[in-house]
């Protein structure tokens, strides 16, 4: 389910309403790009706070009153299992070894060595109750 002003991660609860709305929009876009929710939340909050500080008050008010929040396309259409329920994939890249959920568009981590990537993938998989696969 996409985040909206009624359903969002608990970490957004204490934010001012315009910041929360912007964080939801940013977070949904990140989820569309394949980020895991645990990674998207702090980034969305940080970017929304920066936006709020750097944007003129009238623009913030306009966004809050009339701005379109873009729900996450992937989360609406996502079939089971969700990215959080999928195995961790370790795959070779030009810049190192990537760790990502199977089916994700972007890796959650990239490491210089395969050993580091495998260890991280094992840690994530253990926490989520999934397995590690290789490509």
Query: 1 exposed, middle or buried (CB, 10 Å; 0-12, 13-18, 19+)?
Result: exposed
Rounded to the nearest integer, the mean pLDDT of the chain is 83
pLDDT digit string (tens) for 106-124?
888 899 999 999 998 888 8
Is residue 99 within 8 Å of 113, Cβ to Cβ? no
- CB within 8 A of 101, min separation 6: which ones? 34, 36, 83, 84, 86, 87, 88, 89, 108
Res. 103 pLDDT band, cuts 50 70 90: confident
Q: Where are the domains of the chain?
A: 10-77, 83-134
Closest listed residue to residue 114, CA positions, set 131, 130, 99, 129: 99
Which pairing describes strands 132-134 and 96-101: parallel, antiparallel, or unpaired?
A: unpaired
Summarize pLDDT for 49-102 with one digit per residue, the tens.
998 998 888 888 888 887 655 555 554 444 445 666 788 899 999 999 999 888
Q: What is the pLDDT of residue 66?
A: 76
The predicted pLDDT at position 82 comes to 62
CA distance 135 to 64: 44
């Amino acid at each position: 389910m996409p985040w909206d002003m009624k359903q969002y991660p608990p970490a957004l609860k204490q934010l001012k309403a315009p910041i929360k709305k912007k964080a939801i929009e940013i977070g949904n876009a990140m989820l569309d790009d394949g980020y895991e929710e645990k990674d998207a939340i702090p980034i969305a909050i940080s970017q929304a706070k920066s936006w709020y500080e750097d944007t003129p008050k009238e623009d913030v008010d306009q966004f809050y009153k009339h701005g379109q929040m873009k729900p996450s396309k992937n989360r609406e259409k996502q079939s089971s299992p969700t990215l959080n329920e999928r195995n961790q994939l370790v795959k070779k890249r030009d810049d190192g070894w990537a760790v990502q959920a199977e089916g994700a568009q972007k890796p959650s981590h990239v490491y210089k060595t395969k050993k580091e990537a495998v260890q991280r993938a094992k840690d994530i998989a253990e926490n989520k109750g999934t397995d590690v696969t290789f490509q």
